[in-house]
């Protein structure tokens, strides 16, 4: 009877052992499956990271490396003299690259502007030298010619010698005026000429001017008229404002017509006094108006030299009035007349 008991126990043990082995095998299979899953995830993460780095590198190249290479190329060209070149970046460029490009473009624009100014100044210098040479040569050659004629025997004829001496003297005066104007404009432009600002009565200055210009106006058959209060105090350099008025009134007389007139008007405008010199002369064509204050610029060269102009008077006027912070206004109609006005601070 003992044997059945042992057999049953054995079967039970075998069953339990079999179940335990089966359970263990199942656990091993489950762990292996988990390990495979983790490995695949790790591999996938590595692959994604590599792809991300490639994409990031591509983006960095487009946003930074390529713009910097283009910036370097254009900058080198600008340094070599192609100042008209500009850096143009794509929308993908980084903000830093765009900022660098903008800064370089601004420097290039400034360099181009400076170079153009230098070229313009060189042209002005060349024109100035040529004009000075011409203006000096004309009276010098005239004086030389008259004196040579006198030395060759014309001095023996009193009438001829007197005439030639007067012409030589007039050319010497013209030469002296030209040199004085050159000195004045050179001192003004270099800042060497110092202005003495103070309060003064400009009506006294205008009355003195009319008295001095009266004979010259009569010789040209031109009448001088004024329209101003009994007194008007302004703040400025009296001597230089006198120089301005002399130039303007002289031009108004010289470029007038027979039986013409010159009007000098003084009117009060707020805290400033407006001075206007108006003539009934030949006028200035509109295309010449922007340039009449340039040195040696002449609307009618033959007439200007015939009446004794140096071509520097209006340039001096402009510089003096700029020192007084006063723009010059010009209106003119051919065969009707010209009006030039400026303002001075009330003194």
Residue 21 in any domain: the answer is: no
Q: What is the reported pLDDT for 73? A: 74
Q: Report yes or no on 273 lying in a domain.
A: yes
CB 255 within 8 A of CB 279: yes
Q: Specify the higher pLDDT residue, 128 or 217.
A: 217
Please give the average per-residue pLDDT across 195-209, as a whole number. Answer: 94
Per-residue model confidence as pLDDT tens digits over 74-101: 777 777 777 677 777 667 666 766 777 7
In a domain, 94, yes or no: no
pLDDT band at 1 (very low <50, low <70, confident <90, very high): very low
Residue 149, pLDDT > 80, answer yes
Residue 158 placed within a domain: no
Token pair in block for residue 38: 């983790």
Q: What is the pLDDT of residue 279?
A: 94
Angstrom distance (rounded) from CA 281 to CA 337: 5
Q: pLDDT tens, 316-343?
A: 999 999 999 999 999 999 989 999 999 9
Residue 245 predicted with pLDDT over 80: yes
User: What whole-number distance in Å separates Cα of residue 117 and Cα of residue 319?
Assistant: 20
| Mean pLDDT, residues 183-193 taken together | 82
The 10s digit of each residue's pLDDT in 284-298 is: 998 888 888 888 787
Does the residue 174 lie in any domain?
no
pLDDT above 90 (res 248): yes
**Minimum mean pLDDT among 6-15, 191-200, 266-275: which range?**
6-15
pLDDT for the residue 114? 79
Q: Average of pLDDT values for 146-164?
A: 84
What is the rounded average pLDDT for all residues in the chain?
79
Give the pLDDT of residue 61. 57
Selected residue with higher pLDDT from 155 and 205: 205
pLDDT at 48 over 70: no
State residue 80's pLDDT score: 72
What average pLDDT score do residues 304-321 get?
A: 77
pLDDT at 10 over 50: no
Q: Does the pLDDT value for residue 234 go beyond 70?
A: yes
Residue 338: strand pairing partners: 332
Is residue 179 scored above 90 in pLDDT? no
Is the model's pLDDT at 45 over the cut of 80? no
Which of 332, 342, 337 is closest to 287 using CA atoms?
A: 332
pLDDT at 29 over 90: no
**338 in Cβ contact with 288 (< 8 Å):** no
Domain containing residue 291: CATH number: 3.30.565.10
DSSP for residue 85: -
How many other CB atoms are there within 10 angstroms of residue 281's CB atom?
23
Q: How far apart, in whole angstroms, are the C-alpha atoms of residue 347 and residue 233? A: 5
pLDDT number for residue 276: 96
Tokens of 186: 């050179």
| Range in 73-77, 182-186, 226-230, 301-305 with the lowest mean pLDDT | 301-305
pLDDT at 272 over 90: yes
Encode 205-226 in three state secondary structure.
HHHHHHHHHHHHHHHCCEEEEE
Q: Show the domain range for 329.
A: 197-346
pLDDT band at residue 49 under the 50/70/90 scheme: low
How many structural domains compose the chain? Answer: 1
What percent of the chain lies above the pLDDT cut of 70? 73
- Is position 279 within any domain? yes
Kindly state whether residue 247 falls inside one of the protein's structural domains.
yes
90 occurs within a structural domain: no
Lowest mean pLDDT among 74-83, 224-233, 245-254: 74-83
Supply the pLDDT for residue 56.
55
């Amino acid at each position: 009877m003992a044997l059945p008991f042992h057999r049953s126990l054995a079967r039970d043990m075998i069953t339990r052992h079999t179940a335990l082995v089966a359970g263990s095998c199942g656990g091993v299979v489950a762990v292996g499956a988990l390990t495979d899953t983790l490995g695949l995830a790790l591999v996938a993460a590595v692959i994604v990271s590599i792809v991300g780095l490639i994409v990031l590198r591509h983006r960095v190249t487009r946003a930074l490396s390529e713009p910097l290479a283009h910036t370097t190329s254009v900058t080198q060209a600008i340094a070599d003299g192609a100042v008209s070149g500009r850096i143009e970046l794509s929308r993908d460029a980084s903000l830093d690259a765009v900022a660098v490009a903008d800064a370089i473009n601004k420097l290039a624009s400034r360099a181009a502007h400076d170079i153009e100014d230098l070229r313009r100044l060189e042209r002005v210098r060349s024109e100035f030298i040529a004009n000075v040479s011409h203006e000096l040569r004309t009276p010098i050659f005239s004086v030389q010619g008259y004196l040579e004629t006198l030395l060759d025997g014309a001095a023996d004829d009193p009438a001829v010698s007197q005439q030639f001496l007067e012409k030589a003297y007039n050319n010497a005066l013209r030469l002296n005026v030209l040199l004085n104007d050159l000195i004045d404009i050179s001192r003004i432009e270099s800042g060497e000429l110092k202005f003495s600002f103070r309060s003064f009565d400009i009506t006294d200055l205008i009355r003195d001017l009319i008295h001095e210009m009266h004979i010259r106006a009569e010789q040209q058959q031109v009448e001088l008229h004024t329209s101003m209060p009994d007194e008007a105090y302004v703040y400025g350099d009296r001597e230089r404002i006198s120089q301005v008025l002399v130039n303007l009134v002289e031009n108004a007389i010289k470029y007038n017509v027979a039986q013409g007139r010159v009007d000098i008007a003084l009117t009060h405008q707020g805290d400033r006094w407006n001075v206007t010199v108006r003539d009934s002369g030949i006028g200035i064509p509109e295309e010449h108006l922007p340039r009449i204050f340039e040195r040696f610029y002449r609307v009618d060269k033959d007439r200007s030299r015939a009446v004794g102009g140096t071509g520097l008077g209006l340039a001096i006027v402009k510089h003096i009035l700029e020192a007084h912070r006063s723009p010059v206004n010009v209106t003119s109609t051919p065969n009707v007349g010209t009006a030039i006005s400026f303002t001075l601070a009330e003194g």
